[in-house]
Amino acid sequence: MTATVTTPRVGSRNSGIRRGEAAAGWVFVLPVILILGLFLLIPVLMALWVSFSDWSGRGSPLSGTVNFVGLENYAAVTTGGGLAERDFGISLRNIAWYVLLVVPLQTALSLFLAVLVNRAVLRGRGFFRTAFYFPSVTSSVAITILWLFLFSQTGVVNAVLAWIGISGPNWFQEPSGIVHNALAGVGITTGPEALTQTDVLGVSLWEWLAGPSVALSAFILMAVFTTSGTFMLLFIAALQNVGVELGEASMMDGANGWQRFWHITLPQLRPTIFTVVTLGLIGGWQVFDQIYTGTEGGPAKTTVTPAYLSYEAAFTRQEWGEGSAIAFLLFLIIIFFTLIQRWALRERGVSKRRAARYEVKGGRS
Amino acid sequence: MSRRLSGQIFLYALLVILAIIYIFPFLVQVATSFKTDSEAASNALSLFPQTVTFAAYETLFSRSDFPLWFANSTIVTIAVTLGRVFFVSLAGYALARLHFRGRGAIFALVVGVMAVPAVVLLIPKFLVLNQIGIYDTYAAMILPLLVDAAGVFIMKNFFESIPVSVEEQARIDGAGAFRVFWSVVLPMARPALITIIILSFQGSWNELSHFIVATQSPELTTLTKGVASLASGQLSQGTQYPIKLAAALIMTIPVAVMFFVFQKRIMNTTEGAVKG
């Protein structure tokens, strides 16, 4: 019925071949909005309310018997001075080390794998891609069980370590931090007073700097193992979109492989790197399944993550307000890092200093 | 020339070592599931059991709820995948191509929702499910998973990469928005759709935390919940790695099959459509 219109692009919103689009658009997005609203937005608002309330888990949190307690729940986990604060501090310590190690490792490894298998001349690249991607398809529950076995006292990892004369630890039972262990290796077993006497969130700075425990390190390796394949696929897709013309032109100019990668390919991969780092951060901060399946926070709470702590506070200890408060603090942290990351990788106008590098210089060709 | 050759050898050696690191754990897993408990502990590295035993599998299938868990995971996964592919591509298309007021806001909402940690939702999710009276039902397991913000994002990006010219002809011929979507654009989106199918199949089959808070009945236990409880020793005394690894292995098979079936297409998601 709109076939006679011949000027499609211009014209007002409700004329031409754009007629009816608004209605269709809303109908198309309606299911998504309804489901996201009902199972994401409303729950978030309810959780927000619960985090400011003294709801005990009985009845509806919206009923009249539930009181508004302000920031009490938040205070309990951040300044309370009690076990709740210390647990929260420990969980933050754990997850900070986890993210600090996992995100760079998984990003670098997945990019490295993608570059390796993206070569057109490579034989068997389907096989290699499959091999690297396969761990990503398995569930975190299944892979955690496999990991518990591989890293057990008599497991594969320790058997391999035994070849080179190392007697491996009972990984998932070992609460000592790897930085502390390394320091102990050079004879330092107690920290300076400045570190041991200063507490942040009920955890001394010396403990903050302990590094991930041996148990948490096994989880870190697992995360890198299971995510590198997925992110490799994202990088492969991006690499295939990188224009070859620019690379060929620079090859003519005598740029070597590394220069081409660093100056031509990598800048074009920026959006993908952004995606990978952001997804890595978001995923890293919320580790839950592995802890639930594997260690339940042990040994000595060194694998407690904020996500697990939040679940445990609410569902096990019935401290719903506290659990929700932890969840929201976690939420804020994730948003904070996502924003920082977005800012750091934003599309910048080319700076003068940078632009100068590309200007044609009189003396050199 | 020889430098080039040694470079090639180095590349392949590196790839082979990496591949072994990625594959070996699964080979050990298969082997261990056929070992006796004592051999699993005493000889973790061997890929060939000295005494092959099917005891682990027998226990799982005849003396546990494992088959029930499997059935539940299958039901939920199929329902979620079908629904998600449809809803997510509809929304992705609308956000990429249809002009309507509020489109930007909706997209911002979808992206914003991606940042909401799933764990923030654990606590109140079961409340909402309770409130609307579907707690501890299949609906509670399926409905919240029907939509996935990342999927909307992927589909939107894909539709934006298709040149507008493809749809214009259909539009000029008078096709409505849904018809253009269904008959023109969706068939072109096959690579992206397969990505979504894989992601939702994988995602719902492997989902754990949502099922923990959406259900409590043993009859609604999924593989992830059931097998996680195995890990903490519900069925087995002590370590009993063969049973646990067998359970984890069987749980991996459907997603692995799915992956191998669609493998070629996953690896080539950027091909297709119009080029140049």
Chain B residues in contact with A25 (beta carbon < 8 A) = 94, 98-100, 103, 177
Q: How many residues does chain B have?
A: 276
A148/A244: higher pLDDT: A148
In 3D space, the residue among B211, B195, B193 whose CA is nearest the CA of residue B87 turns out to be: B193
> CA quadruple B219, B224, B229, B231: dihedral positive or negative?
positive
Q: How far, in Å, CA of A88 to CA of A305, rounded?
A: 9
Instruction: Report the chain B residue with the minimal C-alpha distance to residue A321.
Output: B123
Question: pLDDT higher for B242 or A5?
Answer: B242
pLDDT of residue B276 exceeding 50, the answer is no
Q: Which of A5, A17, A29 to mutate to test the interface with B (most CBs of B within 10 A)?
A: A29
What domains lie within chain B, and their CATH numbers?
Answer: 65-223+255-265 (1.10.3720.10)
Give the model's pLDDT for residue B238: 63
Prediction ipTM score: 0.85
Least confident among A53-62, A137-146, B60-69, B249-258: A53-62
Portion 97-156 of B in contact with A at CB < 8 A: 98-103, 106, 109-110, 113-125, 127-128, 131-132, 143-144, 146-147, 149, 152
User: What's the CA gap between A318 and A56, in Å, rounded?
Assistant: 6
Q: Which residue of B has its CA nearest to A227?
A: B22
Other beta carbons within 10 angstroms of residue A191's beta carbon come to 17
The model carries a pTM of 0.85
What tokens does A364 get? 């050199």
Q: What is the dihedral of CA B123, B124, B130, B135, to 10 degrees?
A: -50
H or E segment to which residue A16 belongs? none
pLDDT digits (tens, 9 = 90+) for A53-99: 988 877 788 887 888 998 989 999 888 888 889 999 999 999 999 99
pLDDT at A310: 92
Strands (E), B145-210: none
Entry field: residues in chain A? 365
Closest partner residue to A149 (CB to CB) among B205, B245, B266 is B245
The better pLDDT of the pair A6, B142 is held by B142
pLDDT at position A137: 83
